[in-house]
Amino acid sequence: MQPMISTFVMVIFGATGDLTARKLMPALYSLLEQGILPDRFFVVGVARREFTHESFRELMKETVIKELRSKNLELRIWEKLKKNLYYQQGFFEDKEPYEKLVDLLSSFDKEIAACITRFFYLATPPQNYSQILKHLSSSKLSEGCGQGSSKWTRVLIEKPFGKDQETARLLEEQLARTFEDRQIYRIDHYLAKETIQNILAFRFANRFVEDIWNNKHIDNVQITLFEAGGIGNRGKFYEGVGALRDAVQNHLMAMLSYTTMEEPASFTASDIRGERVKVLSKLRCIEKEEVKNLVVRGQYGAGMVGGRQVAGYREEKDVAFDSLTETYVALKLFIDNDCWSGVPFYLRTGKRMSKSAVQIDVQFKNPQSKLYREFKLTSDEHANVLTIRVQPKEGISLKFFAKAPGLTYNLSPVNMDFSYLTSFKRDITDSYEKLLIDAMVGDQTLFATSAGFGHTWEFVTKILKGWEKQPPPKFPNYEAGSAGPKEADELIERDGRRWLL
């Protein structure tokens, strides 16, 4: 059954930025087209640049057209979305735009003759969060319609949620001064990806899986988030953030938590989030001295991607010519609990890789079989591997051995494959559409938690501290379009294993 959404106001701070253009506007458009959003709602873009309501609508139209074109879709219902869009110019640090928002938002309440639920979406660079939260509170916008009489407001915050453990804690404290936890929606869109949500179904709706999902049967797990793309126009954002904060602290940890959490007692947000946090609390931190052995960082230089010559990271727009920001990370970690003790998890992420692929490879142990002893099936190459393809070619496959047809008895590796495209014949739901709807209906299941981020920030901050102690890295150390730095291969090969992707 489709959710029923009533009239809402969404104030997007950072409305002229990349996220609004690539994700939020196309998601709103698609939800409206699917008939999930009501006819009348209010989206107010807030940003520094001068726009009128009308010129902002034109800008948004361009962004939606661009996104639709990339999916071979046509713009069909623009007028329906357009009439619900508004713009408020202002600097996030000034009081004025918030005062104007108070008036604008009350005019919406008057039009509908009701207190409309307000969503404040922080899609700005993280350094603006504190100012915005301060003004939301002092202007009482955070208190919603009636300014104090109602708590019908919610705040959605994009990652990176802080710069390290300490700044994340300060941000949490500030949020807690203004909003209750049930009003806070911390976004890590990987938690809402269809294929990642499906990990729970795969594991717990199919009982046989759970019986082999532990250290008795699993040799190692590899979680990879590779992108062929570079940083595009996001140099200003990416500089000083880097791959560890941009992808490891959140997206890779989201995949790790779904892969390793215990079965939640129910489908409630608190049970599911609780189990995610529980396993993250068992992450073994990599101490400063171990960082050089267990973590590899890299930065791309110029190279060829998809037959095209591309610039190195240091040549990208808004990037320092001697930047030490990492665009690649590979690391090995352990989870200290009964289920996963002794199983290494190898996590990797990188930009400008030879291809875009996000996947989780679970490699099973390969004990000697008595019957098949003469086939020497004990090496790494002969292991059974279960691959969850998060994107593209979404699906799950299992590599196993079969008797090759013929008069002699030979074994051959084959694949059992589930693909969303063939099984469901419909598009995968976009994670931002899911997140917007869930925030609107007040379901926090697929949103990150303060405690979970606390654990992942602790893990990441120790690595950052370890890097501070090391001599500056010799960047660039991998070519765009390659498989990443050679040290990453050494990281896994030292253990007698190899990357499966």
Which residues would be at the binding site for ligand BG6 (CB under 6 A)?
Answer: 189, 227, 246, 358
DSSP state of 430: P
**Type of residue numbered 460:** V
Residue (of 20, 27, 12, 21) closest to 431 by Cα position: 27
**Considering the complex, what minimum distance in angstroms separates the CB of residue 151 from ligand BG6?**
29
Bridge partners of 190, per DSSP, are none
Nearest distance in Å: CB 226, ligand BG6 = 10
Decide whether 223 or 343 has the Cβ nearer to ligand BG6: 223
DSSP state string for 435-453: HHHHHHHT--TTSB-HHHH
Instruction: Clarify whether 53 is annotated catalytic.
Output: no
Give the Cα separation of 398 and 208 in Å (integer): 14
Q: How far apart are CA 257 and CA 266, in angstroms?
A: 17
Residue nearest ligand BG6, Cβ-based: 246
Q: At its nearest, how many Å lie between ligand BG6 and the CB of residue 430?
A: 9
Q: Which is nearer to ligand BG6, 187 or 343 (CB)?
A: 187
Specify the long-range contacts of residues 54-62, CB closer than 8 Å, at least 24 apart.
55/87, 56/15, 56/85, 56/86, 56/87, 57/82, 57/85, 59/16, 60/20, 60/21, 60/25, 60/85
The minimum distance between CB 227 and ligand BG6, in angstroms, equals 6
C-alpha distances in angstroms, 456 versus 206, 425, 466?
29, 36, 16
Select which of 217, 251, 382, 455 is catalytic: 251
Please give the helix or strand (H or E) that residue 259 lies within, else none: helix 253-260
Query: Of 78, 83, 82, 86, which is closest to residue 33 (Cα–Cα)?
Result: 78
Q: DSSP secondary-structure letter at 357?
A: E
SS3 460: helix
Structure tokens at 380: 């790494």
Amino acid identity of 86?
A: Y
Nearer to ligand BG6, 227 or 316 (CB): 227
> What are the φ/ψ torsions at residue 317 (nearest 5 degrees)?
-60, 135
Given the complex with ligand BG6, which of 9 and 12 has the nearer CB atom?
12
Residue 377 C-beta: closest distance to ligand BG6, Å:
36
Rounded to the nearest whole angstrom, what is the least distance from the CB of residue 476 to ligand BG6 in the complex? 18
Nearest residue (CB) to ligand BG6, 120 versus 238: 238
Active site residues: 251
